[in-house]
Amino acid sequence: MKNKHLHRTHPEIIKRLKRAEGHLANVVEMIRSGRDCLEIAQQLHAVEKAIAGAKKTLVHDHIDHCLEHAIGRVSRTTKGRLDEFKEITKYL
């Protein structure tokens, strides 16, 4: 088994995923009880946003810590490039 790979953002990611889990359970119950499609769609949107936020946080954390750790200390120019890379990840 690999060593634990923990970052300071992991609690925030877990919080977002638990929020998504709660919304998703709510969606399932809404469908079972025959709730309005608009309400269901709104809850599904909340699930998507929570998961997307968790993914974004994880990717940015990886860029900030894991990538920099692998390549070593970076120059101000390289840091600017990494910031640009983080910015473009919002289009994933």
4 assigned to some structural domain: no
What's the rounded Cα separation, in Å, for the pair 47 and 12? 16
Q: What is the CATH number of the domain that holds 22?
A: 1.20.58.1000
Query: Taking Cα atoms as reference points, which of 16, 14, 39 lies closest to residue 27?
Result: 39
Q: What is the pLDDT of residues 25-66, one digit of tens each?
A: 999 999 999 999 999 999 999 999 999 989 988 888 887 777
5 assigned to some structural domain: no
The dihedral built from the CA positions of residue 47, 48, 54 and 57, taken in this order, carries a sign that is: negative
Whether 31 and 40 have beta carbons less than 8 Å apart is answered as yes
69 assigned to some structural domain: yes
pLDDT at residue 62, rounded to an integer:
82
pLDDT at residue 13, rounded to an integer:
93
22 assigned to some structural domain: yes
Q: What is the pLDDT of residues 20-32, one digit of tens each?
A: 999 999 999 999 9
For 57, 64, 84, 85, the CA distances from 80, given in Å and listed in that order, are 18, 12, 6, 9
Give pTM, 2 decimals. 0.73
2 assigned to some structural domain: no
3 assigned to some structural domain: no
What is the domain count for the chain?
1
77 assigned to some structural domain: yes
Q: Which domain holds residue 56?
A: 10-91
